[in-house]
Structure 1
Amino acid sequence: MSYHQDRDLHDALLRARPTDTDLREGWPAQERDDLLRRIRGGAGRDEASTAPRSTRGRVALLAAAATVAAALVVPVVVSGGDAEARAELLRLAGVAAEGDGPVVGPGELLHVEGWSLQENSSLFGDGLTLDDEYENWVRWDGATWVVLHRPSAGWTERAFYPPPRRADFGTPTPRFVADLPDDAAGLRAYLDDTVSGSNSHDEALFVAVSDLVNSRLLDPATFAVALEVLADVGGVETRDVEVDGRDAVAISHDRFVVGALGRKTIVVDRETGQLLGSESSDPGGRSRARITLLETVDRVPERVRADLRRYGNGSRTCADGQEADPHDGTCA
């Protein structure tokens, strides 16, 4: 689903949402709190002491809770950020603004290397674990060359994506990023007038900013401005983590995903203020992504272009150079 389709769906749900007065009269606060606690998985002492329900029962319970939550689109955050999280984000913004990082201009490409690990739920998904190593080249207009390798499956995929018809927060380009306001107040005002959907305005703000950040297209100054904006978004939390021996800060926001609670996170190096990666979780599973190289270059390597010419766009080949199975894309 595209960013705009997702936004339109949420807009429709929001228009159907009852007023706060309707909620207070028809759904008492205690019942709302109990439902949210069950969705979060925080069962009370009495529930924890009983025998586990069957798989069918657990699915039915979550499905019922998800249906109610999706229908009512109950906001799970309120305006006004946590003071400790705000202070941490403003400190990180100051560090990021003074840091080094690539700035993509016309005639240049952003070269990114990294890895991701997606673990799908066996209860609400296919139970697969997808381990990927990737290399991307993003041109000024958003045209992108991708080399994706999945070690566990033994194949490598190559693809070229043309520039998006319309750049936005979900599909940004270096050109789009360069035209964003260069101060926190201006960017926040722009976001306030642009974002929509989600379960609350704060959630919509976090989703837009995190999508923008995870594109890796932000130069240090713009990244610092984005962190300043997040400092005043309600529901944002920070916590100390360690990434490959580096002290880092996880910046998170809870959100409803298809009626169930999920969490979206970006991870920033505490000392350098650089983006290290992202994380997400919901009932369908969890994922992690890390950046290992970020630089500007003036061309896509000839080896990548040659492989695209040889194998074709979207091709998937095995370690021996032979094409993967055309039916399921696997290697023998």
Structure 2
Amino acid sequence: MHTTAPATSLQHLRSAVSDRVRDSFAEVMDQHADVGPEITDLGAVATDLLDGGKRLRAAFAAAGWMAFGGPELDDRIVATGAGLELFQMAALVHDDVIDDSRTRRGRPAAHHQLAMRHDELKMMTDARRYGASSAVLLGDLLLVAAMRELDEALDALPDDERRSARRLVTDMMAGVTLGQYLDIYAQSAPWSDDPSVDLDRARRVLRAKAARYSVEQPLCLGATMAGAPPDGVESCSRIGLPIGEAFQLRDDLLGVFGDPALTGKPAGDDLREGSEQCFSPPHWSVLILPTPPSSAERLAIPTLIRSCSPEHARSSPAHKPRAPSRR
């Protein structure tokens, strides 16, 4: 079977970006090795997690770049792809801490790995707190590595393209951060009596936290770097946003109903966390409810989901082992 040229090109891009991601983070760690041997735990966890991923953002950045004449596998677009992938990993590490997710890419999430390391070393203090605090710092360190790669790529551009591309990068990072906050807010806010309010918020979370930085913004970034005119960048935006939304909706469904052995993450985490992205009106059609639930029913659903979780079952009095009876 012959591999098509585009598929071969994508494989080469993924390989080049993956190599650069690993080398970039290793360089950050090596440059600060004098801090002490204790920091190797952070490096080991990051290296483990950085091995996975589809390199989706790097691929869309390269697509935008080549669509407007950028040379294939140019160092600038490879560095940009590496920066985007490092930024995504930083966001995922932080997101896993916020959601207390158990796994990421088929492995224990960073904060769980670091908590286990705490126990292995028989350290003092609380293991969960240690793991979460360390993972926040690991996410920050990944962000540093991301900025190094993006700076190197953008510094090699002409002035106009560099300024526009930097603005896109900072807009992307700010948008993801604010989208994450909106997601936290949505999980805590009471349900509205008007379902359209919840629907609007869920869509805004989906766009800001995931859809835009997964497809639209990498596509626009690559195009901008290649010198695309404003209407060309606008076309990339119009194409990229609905693709990003479709990708994220599918990812949400896999997060609820997918096989963890294939997705690399536990099914139902968003449900147990009460994420509005999962409890928003668009998902009622997926759940095949005959009518939208009442406010009282919607309030009861997160509790019901949690009560069905394995963790709740293990902690329930009905499932606790009985003390042996005396005879």
Q: What is the TM-score normalised by the length of structure 2?
A: 0.24
Compare relative contact order (CA 8 Å, sep 6+) and give the higher one, 1 or 2.
1
Alignment TM-score, normalising by the size of structure 1: 0.24
